[in-house]
A and B are shown apart, each in its own frame.
Chain A
Amino acid sequence: AQSVTQLDSQVPVFEEAPVELRCNYSSSVSVYLFWYVQYPNQGLQLLLKYLSGSTLVESINGFEAEFNKSQTSFHLRKPSVHISDTAEYFCAVSDPLSARQLTFGSGTQLTVLP
């Protein structure tokens, strides 16, 4: 069985400051890793994915995440946040051996303060 832990349920940060949202997973096999973002009253948008290859993946809006196999982590980072980044962020893993397709973390509410 696999699980995903997002240690921080809420992260407040000032505008233009850097931010890191933490995600750790447990799985006995290789996994695919994802970050999704959910703005208020909207569906989930795929932000980043790691399937294979380079351990550092980047999104078009300045977020990046690094897959660390030894620490079983996939932390999300942004060097300078904007007010518009305020949203709920979900980390998710897909285990090739799991029938459940995606396992989500509990989510982190990022609030960017002016």
Chain B
Amino acid sequence: DTEVTQTPKHLVMGMTNKKSLKCEQHMGHRAMYWYKQKAKKPPELMFVYSYEKLSINESVPSRFSPECPNSSLLNLHLHALQPEDSALYLCASSPKARAEQYFGPGTRLTVT
């Protein structure tokens, strides 16, 4: 099974709201990722967790806060977002660093 799940599927939030995106995988993968994807563009890497530790932060604004509670879960906490943060947020996992990544279906985020 190569399934990564993400919730919610859609999210609409105001600029003063706090919300969280959730990602889960049960493949025993030890690397997990957050990406942001704008329409008609490739995914842009935001964060990488390796063995539950944050290993890469691609200079993401602090209004995005990742969390890895355990080896199967990855959260992305959102606070005080801007309309330009509206995008598809993708989670991915891989069995090890630099191997193939398996993506979830994404959360479509709209900031109003």
Q: Which residues of A contact B (CB under 8 A)?
A: 32, 34, 36, 41-46, 49, 51, 88, 90, 94-96, 98-102, 104-107, 109
Contacts and interface: CB of A to CB of B under 8 A. Distances in A.
B103 A44 contact: yes
17 contacts: A32-B99, A32-B100, A36-B103, A42-B106, A43-B4, A43-B103, A43-B106, A44-B103, A46-B102, A94-B99, A98-B98, A99-B56, A101-B45, A101-B94, A105-B42, A107-B40, A107-B41
B35 to A, nearest CB: 9
A109 B41 CA distance: 11
B108 interface: yes
Interface string B1-27: 010101000000000000000000000
Contact of B42 (A43, A95, A100, A106): A106
Given A32-B100, A96-B98, A102-B45, 16 more contacts: A32-B99, A42-B105, A43-B106, A44-B43, A44-B103, A46-B2, A46-B101, A46-B103, A51-B99, A95-B98, A98-B98, A99-B55, A100-B45, A101-B45, A101-B48, A101-B97
B41 A46 contact: no
Nearest to B105: A43
